[in-house]
A and B are shown apart, each in its own frame.
Chain A
Amino acid sequence: MTARDRTIRIIGPLSIVAIWQIAVSTRLLNPGLFPPPSEIAANFVAYAGSGELATNAAWTLSRILIGLLIGGIPGTLIGLAMGMNGAVRAYFGPIIALLYPIPKIAILPLFYFIFGTGEPAKWAAVAVGVFFLMAINTEAGVRQIELIYLDVARAYRLRPVTVFLRVLLPGALPNIYAGLKLSIGIAIVLAVAAEYQLTRTGLGFAIFNAQQLLDVDRLYAALVAVSLLGLMLSALLDALESVVLPWRAHRSAPSPTVL
């Protein structure tokens, strides 16, 4: 990334904030519904200082991370099996194609019926969303491995465990990692959505609670917290990418501006 692009990345969000601020101060936007960014920031700092946001964010984060594990591990394993074996692919392919399009938010009530109002219902909601993304991306990752690498594995009589751990897994890893990045997004959406009902913790609860109290300030503070949580998680994954995929570290050169 060039210095110019780095600057543009910072200017982008700031320009929206500036336009918003101007629109509110010139009464183009209703400050009752759209408080000026300066006020949102001040409120956010106040709520963050009280510890309320941090506690709620910690609850949401725990649901995201546990859901990622519960959904991501089986999703990755089934994706690997589908990528390696035609029969497994034939079995799971149609099942995933049928279930994946169902909006996960629509089946939240089902999780409350099954798991009650405790944590497992929220973990399940996140896990289901993550499961499909990981299974689909991992399968694609295995199947896009170039056949030449499998020829090498056979020509040099690599043991099956080596083929799995040192050919198929690293070959699929870039797609698995891309699936993980997508999963972070869906995990945040589902964790917050699951916190709307039957709970008194989490950023989703904070948003729902602010809505009921018509407290626009707290609503925005919670929204900012959700946004920052997502930014933090994806920044973490970006930073870890060169550790997890070191052979691609030098490939992440900026794609040139074509037009």
Chain B
Amino acid sequence: MASIVVEHLTKRYSTGTLALDDVNFELADGEFVAVVGPSGCGKSTLLRIMAGLDAATEGRVVVEGGARPNELPSATVFQEASLFPWMRVDANVAVAFDSLNVPAREVNARVANVLALVGLADNARAWPHELSGGMKQRAAVARAFVTDPAILFMDEPFGALDEQTRVGLANELMRLWERSPKSVVFVTHGIEEAITVADRVVVMSTRPGTIKEIVPITFPRPRDAVAIRGEAAFAEHVVRIWELLR
């Protein structure tokens, strides 16, 4: 388990564009935080810096607690098809253990287990191109969960999918997260999706990317992605965040 502190994070591209300007927030241990904002507000850049994929110009990301020995410090789910096309589904998931010292038998058992959890038990030996978009993202989520890291970064993971599949996958993601709690940063352009999954929604504004407000979402868990939409508070949150984004 781990908590994350983002301090005075600033990102200036070599072109001079200020993508992020003095971003500060904290992520509590086991907290699910969604980040929303207009496209170009730097939310993906923020996530990439937190995940260690890009460097900040100024400021820092401090992880407290962090990885136990022989554990990945974090896992990342990307928006695009990020499965290696040349590996079968099970190998794509097992690759998460590459830097860890885990016996092959245990790797195989955990891969089979997580694939069953995301409903891909029958597709373990399939090639990624044989899967639908939703199944590919299930496999990518399985790869993130299989090593059970303390932190999970998700960069618009369901952004390329149709609405029905998105709602279904949001539900599945919450079930997985309830089984193995972890700190999650979930970047999305879907306001309803953010309210559905998150404990708090970080609302960003653009040019330069700054945090406008952090909206707490207090629905009890476990939540159902469909039922929650009928709650009066859900509509209030939607309106509130739309107002912030205006």
Contact = CB atoms under 8 A, between A and B. Distances in A.
Interface of A: 148-149, 151-152, 154-159, 162, 166-167, 170-171, 173, 245-248, 250-251
Given A155-B75, A155-B76, A166 B129 contact: no
Given A154-B52, A156-B143, A247-B129, A162 B95 contact: yes
B87 interface: yes
A180 B98 CA distance: 31
Interface string B38-72: 00000000000001110000000000000000001
Contacts of A166: 84, 87, 95
Given A154-B53, A247-B86, 8 more contacts: A148-B78, A156-B96, A156-B99, A158-B95, A167-B84, A170-B87, A247-B128, A251-B129
B72 A157 contact: yes
Contacts of B52: 154-155
Interface of B: 51-53, 72, 74-76, 78, 80-82, 84-87, 95-96, 98-99, 127-130, 143, 153
Given A166-B87, A247-B86, A157 B129 contact: no
A149 B128 CA distance: 14
A12 B155 CA distance: 52
11 contacts: A148-B82, A149-B82, A151-B78, A155-B53, A155-B78, A156-B96, A157-B99, A166-B84, A247-B127, A248-B85, A250-B127
A157 B81 CA distance: 19
B85 A158 contact: no
A148 B53 CA distance: 11
A151 B82 contact: yes
Contacts of A151: 53, 76, 78, 82
A152 B84 contact: yes
Where chain B touches its partner, the secondary structure class is loop
Contacts of A173: 86
Contacts of A171: 86
A162 B6 CA distance: 31
What are the nearest 9 A-B pairs in CB distance?
Answer: A155-B76, A170-B86, A157-B99, A247-B86, A158-B98, A247-B127, A162-B98, A152-B82, A156-B96
A148 B129 CA distance: 16
B50 to A, nearest CB: 11
Given A250-B129, A251-B129, A158 B99 contact: yes
B98 A155 contact: no
Contacts of A162: 95, 98
Contact of A156 (B72, B80, B81, B128): B72
A77 B194 CA distance: 47
B98 A159 contact: yes
A105 to B, nearest CB: 37
A156 B78 contact: no
Contacts of A248: 85
Nearest to A149: B84
A177 to B, nearest CB: 12
A156 B76 CA distance: 8
A10 to B, nearest CB: 31
Contacts of A155: 51-53, 74-76, 78, 153
B72 A152 contact: no
A47 to B, nearest CB: 45
Contacts of B82: 148-149, 151-152
B246 to A, nearest CB: 33
Q: Which of B84, B86, B96, B98 has the most CB of A within 10 A?
A: B86
B51 to A, nearest CB: 6
A156 B98 contact: yes
A251 B95 CA distance: 24
A11 B111 CA distance: 51
B84 to A, nearest CB: 6
